[in-house]
Structure 1
Amino acid sequence: MTELHHSNGTARGRLAKRIGGAGLALVAVAGLGLAGAGAAQAAGSRAATPTCTASGLTASFGQKLGGGMNHAGVVLKLKNTSGHTCLLRGYPGLGLEGSGHRALGSSVHWGDTWYAKDPGKKTLTLKKGASAEAVVSWTHANEGTSGARHASYLQVTPPASRSHKTLKFPAWVDNGRLSVTALAPHIAVTDQAA
């Protein structure tokens, strides 16, 4: 009888362990489900915020930057006019146009400029009416320089966009070379004029 009681106690112990283990497994699965649902909801809210497009942004020039050694620059601003929050990440695309909006040969360097350190790529959440800025710079030795481009307009393509904005840009640009920083809420500039 003692043996039967002992055996019975062991069977009950094993049953309790199985139920306890199954209960823990059930709680763990439920916890993972809640964590998964939370992660999915967070990902869903991020995925629900669209990328800013050219049609939902206005482009304008802010502070003009001067300096020695034939350097020039300007703060470029992109403002969200879409009526909803959107995301921007990276560098604006740039291109030069001559009179009559004829494309001119140009190249763009992404990174530090003569006037500002590059803040690097960061995803910006632009609420309705908010702006992001980048600093554009170039050199200009004017028409006497071989390869100088006399621009009339600047094409500005927001990151991940297929269309662009066009701004008046009457400037000489040596060899059509422009430098631009990544977009940021605000970029500190140093006017290099001495």
Structure 2
Amino acid sequence: MTEQHRNTAAARGRMVKRAGAAGLAVAAAAGLGLAAAGAAQALGSQAAATAAPTCKTSDLTASFGEKLGGGMNHEGVVLKLKNTSGHTCNLRGYPGLGLEDSGHRTLGSSVHWGDTYYAQDPGKKTLSLKNGRSAEAVISWTHANAGTSEARHAGYLQVTPPANTTHKTLKLPTWVDHGRLEVTALAPNVPLG
């Protein structure tokens, strides 16, 4: 191989390396562009969710869905919160709960957030509730000690939506051991079982 051929071959090798590096740079830039577009789309969805106001107690109606029973003195109910505000609003987390007697006097109670006897906790997620849409949580308690000092004879359940200080009241005539309630986070649907 002559000196001229070696120089030409070396020059071609450098050009191929530069072209390869340039191609990698273009591919990387394209990849970053796609990633940025995906991130912008995700942020747009989050921005839409955060742009909606938090659901106020007055934006929602509260009702009971399916009543839950079973052995071992367990009892429960599916709680439904429906957006009736006329606009989209956000809910995130667990409803506050409390017990009242038949005369609407507050009873001593405690609430455990997480798994219940009837359902696993779906965890806290921001729910963007369009007008007319509902979220639900599963509530459970035991009633083994009806009539004892450890049991509370409830007449009503207080339901405070997350991030609110006022509540709705639902009729709930039952005994609740130690006034202890368990509730899952709100979700579009909480699977039972």
TM range (shorter): 0.7 to 0.9
Whichever residue aligns with residue 149 of structure 1, its letter is R
* Shift, 1:99, TM fit: 1.8
**Structure-2 residue corresponding to 1:89:** 92
Whichever residue aligns with residue 113 of structure 1, its letter is T
State the secondary structure of the residue aligned to 1:99.
coil
Q: Residues 44-59 of structure 1: matches in 2 within 5 Å?
A: 45-59=48-62
What is the rounded CA distance, in whole Å, between the counterparts of 2:89 and 2:118 in structure 1? 28
Cα deviations across residues 89-123 of structure 1 (Å, max 9, x unaligned)?
A: 00000000002110000000000000000000000
What is the rounded CA distance, in whole Å, between the counterparts of 1:62 and 1:47 in structure 2? 28
Whichever residue aligns with residue 69 of structure 1, its letter is M
Whichever residue aligns with residue 183 of structure 1, its letter is L
Cα deviations across residues 55-91 of structure 1 (Å, max 9, x unaligned)?
A: 0000000000001110000000000000000000000
What is the rounded CA distance, in whole Å, between the counterparts of 2:96 and 2:121 in structure 1? 15
What is the rounded CA distance, in whole Å, between the counterparts of 2:144 and 2:187 in structure 1? 30
Is 1:108 the counterpart of 2:134 in the alignment?
no
Is 1:149 the counterpart of 2:117 in the alignment?
no
RMSD over equivalenced CA pairs, Å: 2.0
**Structure-2 residue corresponding to 1:29:** none
Tell me which moved more, 44-53 or 83-92: 44-53
Whichever residue aligns with residue 99 of structure 1, its letter is S
Cα deviations across residues 94-153 of structure 1 (Å, max 9, x unaligned)?
A: 000002110000000000000000000000010010000000000002433331000000
Q: Identity rate of aligned residues, in percent? A: 75
Q: TM-score, normalised by structure 2?
A: 0.75
Whichever residue aligns with residue 67 of structure 2, its letter is K
* Shift, 1:46, TM fit: 4.0
Q: Residues 1-194 of structure 1: matches in 2 within 5 Å?
A: 42=44, 45-190=48-193
What is the rounded CA distance, in whole Å, between the counterparts of 1:51 and 1:101 in structure 2? 28
What is the rounded CA distance, in whole Å, between the counterparts of 1:82 and 1:167 in structure 2? 19
State the secondary structure of the residue aligned to 2:187.
coil
State the secondary structure of the residue aligned to 2:178.
helix
What is the rounded CA distance, in whole Å, between the counterparts of 1:125 and 1:132 in structure 2? 10
The answer to whether the 8 A contact 2:49-2:90 is kept is no
* Shift, 1:47, TM fit: 3.9
What is the rounded CA distance, in whole Å, between the counterparts of 1:142 and 1:168 in structure 2? 21
The answer to whether the 8 A contact 2:94-2:113 is kept is yes
What is the rounded CA distance, in whole Å, between the counterparts of 2:84 and 2:133 in structure 1? 8
Structure 1: state its 5+ residue gaps: 1-34
